[in-house]
Structure 1
Amino acid sequence: MKEKKQIIENSLVNLMDEYRFREITIKMLCTEANINRSTFYAYYLDKYDLLDSMIDFHIENIINMVKTKTEGITNAQNKQIYVKNYINALFQYIYENQRFFKILITKHPAQNFTQKLIGSLRQSYSEIINQFHLKNPDYFVNYTIGGQFGVLFFWLQQDCKEHPCEISDIVFNNILKTNR
């Protein structure tokens, strides 16, 4: 069952690499996945449901990763290690799923995805930043998210040539420089 869903999801990514989402039909998806329509409809209502479930899956994974990487930050002596670990994990996750992220952020930008991604990053950073007791934390978080998203966009456009750790170092060092 999971295998068929994965085949359908991979087929959508393959097609989105070549076509805009609005051009993709269920027939194209079924042909690409080598399944019949009833199999597709056993898992999804339509192509929008498919894309939304994929987006929600990645956003949920990012949110869960944040919780895992920042667990214990409240009582930690060096809170910056938690921030560094979170940023490393975030860019590693994006790297491992770069085709999906590249298509939805740079090739055929999906506003729904971008809004959900930025919203989850904003929430994550806000929770982390609250541990540092900064002046004007909302502005700091929004500034940080804007810069990080710019780095992410450029990195994806360049086919993630740098290792995720290198990109996370860039983002982390810029956060530290901003937060003086």
Structure 2
Amino acid sequence: MPYKLDKKELIEQSFLQLMEEFRFREITIKMICEQSQINRSTFYAYFEDKYALLDGMIDLHISNIEQIMNDNLQNLNSETDKRPSVEKYLNQTFQYIYEHKQFFKILITMHPAQNFTQKLMGSWRKNFLAVLNSTVTLNYPDYFVSYTVGGQFGVLFFWLQNDCPEDPTIISKIIYNNILKINR
């Protein structure tokens, strides 16, 4: 039997479908309800408004990416060889993005959401600083991390913009190899 979306997931999926066609400011609650084939009261049972819908989706994805980081990098300081943990973290992160590429593509390339981009890059920045602090000592690490995260975001943008033609493991390897360049 095929998996049936619950009402909240149905609303979120319908919202993403609308965002593929319309800008956020053009989308109304009425449009979301029509796309979802639900009543307004059902929408309001889950969300205060379309802003709460978008913010909730953003927070969920950022939280899930943070959890991937925590699962893979929590013991980094005690590991002698940190590469397997970093590689696993990158692989899982880009696999997650690939599995949710509709969301990421819309909010990064089609209708960039500054709030989302800032949260995502902030999360990556924090994660990368944690990895760096456990591996090497750099002068001005904040600038290096800002530069590197900007490059990672550029790779992600290009990959999403082209509809993710490469496997997520290839993209994570590209990012990983660029990170290793600090050890030249």
> Which TM-score band (shorter chain)?
over 0.9
TM-superposition CA deviations, 1:42-91 (whole Å, max 9, x none): 11000000000000000000011100011321111101221111111111
Task: State the number of aligned residues.
Answer: 179
Give me the whole-angstrom Cα distance separating, in 2, the residues matched to 1:179 and 1:156. 29
Give me the whole-angstrom Cα distance separating, in 2, the residues matched to 1:83 and 1:160. 22
Pick one of 59, 63, 69 that aligns with 1:60: 63
Give me the whole-angstrom Cα distance separating, in 1, the residues matched to 2:74 and 2:130. 11
Unaligned runs of 5+ in 2: none
Structure 1 stretches of 4+ with a deviation exceeding 2 A read: none
Residue 134 of structure 1: how far off its partner (Å)? 2.0
Give me the whole-angstrom Cα distance separating, in 1, the residues matched to 2:183 and 2:162. 28
TM-score, scaled to structure 1: 0.96
User: Any residues of structure 2 matched to 1:147-166 within 5 Å, and which?
Assistant: 147-166=151-170
Structure 1 residues 179, 144: closer, same or farther in 2, change over 3 A? farther
Which residue is 2:94 aligned to? 91
Confirm whether residue 40 of structure 1 aligns to residue 40 of structure 2.
Answer: no
Confirm whether residue 29 of structure 1 aligns to residue 32 of structure 2.
Answer: yes
Structure 1 residues 179, 139: closer, same or farther in 2, change over 3 A? farther
Matched residues, percent identical? 59
Report the 3-state secondary structure (helix = DSSP H, G, I; strand = E; otherwise coil) of the residue aligned with 1:92.
Answer: helix
TM-superposition CA deviations, 1:105-125 (whole Å, max 9, x none): 000101111011111111111
Give me the whole-angstrom Cα distance separating, in 2, the residues matched to 1:129 and 1:85. 16
Unaligned runs of 5+ in 1: none
